[in-house]
């Protein structure tokens, strides 16, 4: 009897091993189902009857998101059988991150569009006509011309001052090195002041170009806005 038991012992052990593996497989499957169900329920479920066709072709129904269909769309029905909503497939962490990134980009684009519309409205309010825009361009030029004119007057005055210094240098054979320190300081002051005024005038010329570029860009956009306004029946420039 003991011999027969010992002879069958390997088969019994193998059977017990298969049972344990089956139990582990069943437990893993249950854990996966619970985990995916929990993931689906992170968002409040929609009230209704969930229906779907799983990967094996089975048509499933439930009063909550169906774990076997988390990888596909689920339809939520009203009690009457009409469609209340469609729930998209659950996304992986990477897919969710990509979706969030797309949403951020779309939000930024909407914000940019809203800002562009706000800027357009502000420009139309400020420049309802071409004449209003041209007038402000002219005023901007006039302000630059005024400061350039003052700089040019200062240059003329500095040249006059240099002429006086040159007459004094005649006593030193025109050599600044032989002139007294006070006179040499005057020479340096006039030289540096002339250079500063010329740099200032160049800065103003650069500003004039920047102002013209801005007004040209504005005019291009305003022309489109004025034409659209005219087509819509508004006042024309």
* pLDDT tens digits for range 187-236: 999 999 999 999 999 999 999 999 999 999 999 999 999 999 988 875 55
Is residue 82 domain-shared with residue 142, that is, in the same domain? no
The last residue of one of the domains, among 38, 72, 87, is: 87
**236 domain residue, yes or no:** no
Is residue 7 domain-shared with residue 69, that is, in the same domain? yes
Which residues pair with residue 85 across a beta bridge?
Answer: 76
User: Given this model, what pLDDT does residue 87 score?
Assistant: 86
The answer to whether 16 touches 44, Cβ cutoff 8 Å, is no
Is residue 175 domain-shared with residue 216, that is, in the same domain? yes
- Selected residue with higher pLDDT from 173 and 147: 147
**30 domain residue, yes or no:** yes
**38 domain residue, yes or no:** yes
Is residue 73 domain-shared with residue 104, that is, in the same domain? no
Is residue 68 domain-shared with residue 98, that is, in the same domain? no
User: Given this model, what pLDDT does residue 8 score?
Assistant: 42
Residue with tokens 């990888």: 71
**143 domain residue, yes or no:** yes
**237 domain residue, yes or no:** no
**81 domain residue, yes or no:** yes
- Count of domains forming the chain: 3
Element (H, E) at 104: helix 93-126
Is residue 51 domain-shared with residue 105, that is, in the same domain? no
Confidence label for 237 from pLDDT (cuts 50, 70 and 90): low
pLDDT tens digits along 5-62: 444 444 444 444 434 434 434 343 333 333 344 444 445 678 889 999 988 899 999 9
**114 domain residue, yes or no:** yes
Is residue 102 domain-shared with residue 168, that is, in the same domain? no
Q: How far from 177 is each of 42, 181, 189, CA to CA, in Å?
A: 88, 9, 15
Q: How far from 230 is each of 90, 135, 166, CA to CA, in Å?
A: 50, 21, 66
Q: Reply yes or no on whether the pLDDT at 146 is more than 80.
A: yes
Q: How far from 227 is each of 14, 15, 42, 135, 237, CA to CA, in Å?
A: 87, 86, 51, 20, 8
* Residue 106 belongs to domain spanning: 93-126
Is residue 166 domain-shared with residue 223, that is, in the same domain? yes
Is residue 100 domain-shared with residue 63, that is, in the same domain? no
SS3 48: coil
Is residue 26 domain-shared with residue 100, that is, in the same domain? no
Q: Which of 2-6, 85-89, 98-102, 200-204 has the highest mean pLDDT?
A: 200-204
**100 domain residue, yes or no:** yes
The last residue of one of the domains, among 106, 126, 146, is: 126
User: Given this model, what pLDDT does residue 116 score?
Assistant: 95
User: Given this model, what pLDDT does residue 30 score?
Assistant: 39
Backbone angles phi, psi at 55, to 5 degrees: -65, -20
Is residue 82 domain-shared with residue 46, that is, in the same domain? yes
d(CA 69, CA 52) in angstroms, rounded, equals: 7
Residue with tokens 């995916």: 36
Is residue 22 domain-shared with residue 75, that is, in the same domain? yes
Joined tokens for residue 120:
């357009």
Instruction: Give Cβ neighbours of residue 172 (< 8 Å, ≥ 6 apart).
Output: 178, 179
pLDDT tens digits along 106-145: 999 999 999 999 999 999 999 999 999 999 999 999 999 9
């Amino acid at each position: 009897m003991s011999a027969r038991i010992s002879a069958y012992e390997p088969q019994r052990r193998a059977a017990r091993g298969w049972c344990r593996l089956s139990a582990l497989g069943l437990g893993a499957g249950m854990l996966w189902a619970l985990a995916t169900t929990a993931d689906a329920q992170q968002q409040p479920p929609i009230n209704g009857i969930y229906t779907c066709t799983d990967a094996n072709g089975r048509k499933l129904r439930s009063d909550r998101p169906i774990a076997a269909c988390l990888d596909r769309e689920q339809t939520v029905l009203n009690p009457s059988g009409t469609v209340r909503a469609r729930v998209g497939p659950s996304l992986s962490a990477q897919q969710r991150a990509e979706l969030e990134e797309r949403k951020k980009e779309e939000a930024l684009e909407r914000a940019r569009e809203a800002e562009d519309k706000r800027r357009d409205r502000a420009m139309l309010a400020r420049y309802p006509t071409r004449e209003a825009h041209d007038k402000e361009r002219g005023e901007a030029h006039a302000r630059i011309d005024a400061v350039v004119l003052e700089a040019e007057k200062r240059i003329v005055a500095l040249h006059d001052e240099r002429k006086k210094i040159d007459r004094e240098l005649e006593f030193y054979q025109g050599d600044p090195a032989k002139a007294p320190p006070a006179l040499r300081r005057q020479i340096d002051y006039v030289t540096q002041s002339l250079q500063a005024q010329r740099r200032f005038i160049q800065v103003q010329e650069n500003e004039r170009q920047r102002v013209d570029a801005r007004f040209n860009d504005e005019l291009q956009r305003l022309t489109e806005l004025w034409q659209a306004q005219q087509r819509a029946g508004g006042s024309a420039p």
